[in-house]
Structure 1
Amino acid sequence: MAFDEVFTVEGSLRLTSDHLGPVRQSYVASEAHTSFGGCAGNIGYALTGLNRDSILVASVGRDASPYLEHLLQCSIDVSSIIEHTDTLTARCVVVTDLAGAQLVAFHPGAAGRYAPPPEIAAFASLAIVAPSTTDSVIKQMSRLKQLNTPILWLPAHSVADYQSGQLQNLLKCSDYVIVNEAEAELLYSAMRANPIELAECLKGYIVTLGGRGSILYFDRQSHHIAPVSARAVDPTGCGDFYAAGFAHGVIGGLDLVTAAGVGSVMGALNASHAGTQTFEVRIDEVYSRFHRAYGYHLSSEDGV
């Protein structure tokens, strides 16, 4: 869980190839907003909009009261969130240009503190493990494996923090994995495997491609999931909303291609709003967008 501070600049964040020396670049932001964020909060919020109950497992700091109140108002279970009074809640500063390029500065704060999965996780349909310290993720995955809880792992930027042996063990613990293109390349290099080989130990492996959709791998096959059109306003948190949509489908017993399609719809929905928890998620709207994008209906009985 984190507080997100997002700035939009009209200039380009890309440096020219002849740029040398320290970067001392200044921008004027045309837009700015602060919102509740972090993978756990974003995914829990998105799942609630999809009529899924979720229990957030995270560490926050002494400044987290407004965030916790927000989650309670959304009827999200915060009983497994640990508050640390000697530090601040994680904070993420994101600078985005109009082309979608981003600069991100992240202060982990309390997010660096281990938050153990509760015993009730043994009865969960799915556990979603998001980025944290390497030690915390290894402990969480090990415990969830002991509880026989299915796991969707989101390695994100932390892929580079693990040794190849650790990555191999974490993949063995996982049922599903979602990464973006850059993270996927790090995985292939560390594991010395191609995506088909990497997916062999998983029920499903997804590489998101931004505006080009995503690729789903399972049963030694690949499936391109077409992107869902949206007026891009803010890309922050799109991966979290994609994961929530995919998880919704998996929990409801939808086939993996359809579940990934719901993920794509959720990612596009988030991209069309400024901030990650600033808009209402309604399952009827998500299913309507799914129909427009993929040509077939999901009813209220699907994914329940």
Structure 2
Amino acid sequence: MRALICGSMAYDTIMVFQDRFKNHILPDQVHILNVSFLVPEMRREFGGCAGNIAYNLKLLGGEPVPMATVGEDFGPYRDWLDRHGVDRSHVMQVPGSYTGQAFITTDLDDNQITAFHPGAMNEAHRNSVADAGAVDIGIVAPDGREGMLQHAREFAEGGVPFIFDPGQGLPLFGKAELLEFIQQATWITANDYEIEMLQARTGLSAGDIAKRVEALIITRGSKGSSIYTGGHRIDIPSVKTAAVNDPTGCGDAYRAGLLYGLLHELDWPVTGRIASLMGGIKIEHHGTQNHHFTREQFEQRFIAEFGHGF
């Protein structure tokens, strides 16, 4: 069962400033801001929504097919995907461009200054859903604006059920476009901040949105998540974690769990708990694709967390 994952692939360069930004930024001088931060600690991670979701779904034993556009610097990421058995036949390299890049500097108060270069991501519309052949399910995750619009339309026209996951791409769209996404999607997932923005931009309540799709899934971090479907609300608990090291990518891990449950026609309480556990495992590790487990290990932890298997 193949899942087509439309979204971004990116490198995340993460730097740690061993001080506090507030000690080096003068509030009354921000109009002539010119600062430099020494960052002795730095790491480069593989990221992007399509890459993260595909990696996590592969860990669960799924068959992810990421669809993304990347640049000429994709070599290390390509080798990483190959090493983990992720199909990259629909990852298109765009000549003369860089793969999407996020440069993140964090201070000792966990404040962040981020610069993002979309690079080849802006060419996502060069890929077509039809090129992937037969797929069982899809997801439209944050990507280039035109690519997100096109891929949602192609899923709908092709009769492929898909999740609309606007994420950080939500501000790219106006009311009419968001209403069209909602009309086309089979399921919608968003975190608690994103659902507030989606409601504000569309004029619809969460209940209104839920009525227009088979399920609306809202994640709330450590407070768990809620699934609105068939006029009911199903609350999914968060899991107990050994550590809270890095929340980046937890939403993508959660979405991989959703895809797995939907592909295997599991009920929503089980699907939500698989997703919740995926997010919990991710948060224990730095980076978005540095966690590992076997199927047996995952099943054992699921039983330990929830008291039953799946």
TM-score by length of 1: 0.89
Quick check: 1:249 aligned with 2:249?
no
Unmatched tracts of structure 1, length 5 or more:
299-304
SS in 1 for 2:52: helix
Aligned-pair CA distance for 1:169: 0.7
Residue 232 of structure 1 aligns with an amino acid whose one-letter code is V
Alignment of 1:101-250 (within 5 A): 102-113=112-123, 114-119=125-130, 121=132, 123-230=134-241, 231-250=243-262
Quick check: 1:273 aligned with 2:285?
yes
Cα contact 2:170–2:198 (8 A) shared by 1:
yes
Unmatched tracts of structure 2, length 5 or more:
1-8
Counterpart-to-counterpart distance in 2, 1:27 and 1:283: 43
34-43 vs 115-124, greater mean Cα deviation: 115-124
Counterpart-to-counterpart distance in 1, 2:236 and 2:28: 40
Rate the CA distance shift 1:97–1:257 in 2: closer, same or farther, 3 A.
Answer: farther
Counterpart-to-counterpart distance in 1, 2:194 and 2:298: 27
Aligned-pair CA distance for 1:182: 1.4
SS in 2 for 1:123: coil
Matching residue of 1:78: 88
Aligned length: 296
Quick check: 1:69 aligned with 2:74?
no
Matching residue of 1:36: 46
Cα contact 1:3–1:37 (8 A) shared by 2:
yes
Counterpart-to-counterpart distance in 1, 2:146 and 2:29: 35
Quick check: 1:56 aligned with 2:95?
no
Counterpart-to-counterpart distance in 2, 1:120 and 1:183: 31
Rate the CA distance shift 1:62–1:275 in 2: closer, same or farther, 3 A.
Answer: same
SS in 2 for 1:188: helix
Cα contact 2:129–2:154 (8 A) shared by 1:
no
* CA deviations over 1:89-132 (Å, ceiling 9, x no partner): 00112344677654432210001102423436552121111112
Counterpart-to-counterpart distance in 2, 1:210 and 1:121: 33
Aligned-pair CA distance for 1:13: 6.8
* CA deviations over 1:29-79 (Å, ceiling 9, x no partner): 575321111011111111111111111110000000111111112111111
Residue 11 of structure 2 aligns with an amino acid whose one-letter code is F
TM-score by length of 2: 0.87
Cα contact 2:129–2:151 (8 A) shared by 1:
no
Aligned-pair CA distance for 1:288: 2.3
SS in 2 for 1:284: helix
Matching residue of 1:296: 308
Rate the CA distance shift 1:199–1:121 in 2: closer, same or farther, 3 A.
Answer: farther
Give me the CA root mean square deviation: 2.4
Counterpart-to-counterpart distance in 2, 1:26 and 1:232: 29
Rate the CA distance shift 1:171–1:13 in 2: closer, same or farther, 3 A.
Answer: farther
Identity %: 27
Rate the CA distance shift 1:20–1:223 in 2: closer, same or farther, 3 A.
Answer: farther
Counterpart-to-counterpart distance in 2, 1:229 and 1:96: 26
Counterpart-to-counterpart distance in 2, 1:167 and 1:191: 7
Rate the CA distance shift 1:46–1:21 in 2: closer, same or farther, 3 A.
Answer: same
* CA deviations over 1:139-159 (Å, ceiling 9, x no partner): 111111111111111100221
Cα contact 1:8–1:29 (8 A) shared by 2:
yes
Query: Which residue, out of 87, 91, 95, partners 2:97?
Result: 87
* CA deviations over 1:181-236 (Å, ceiling 9, x no partner): 21111111112122111111111111111121112111122222111122111111
Rate the CA distance shift 1:13–1:49 in 2: closer, same or farther, 3 A.
Answer: farther
Counterpart-to-counterpart distance in 2, 1:147 and 1:30: 50
Counterpart-to-counterpart distance in 2, 1:72 and 1:38: 17
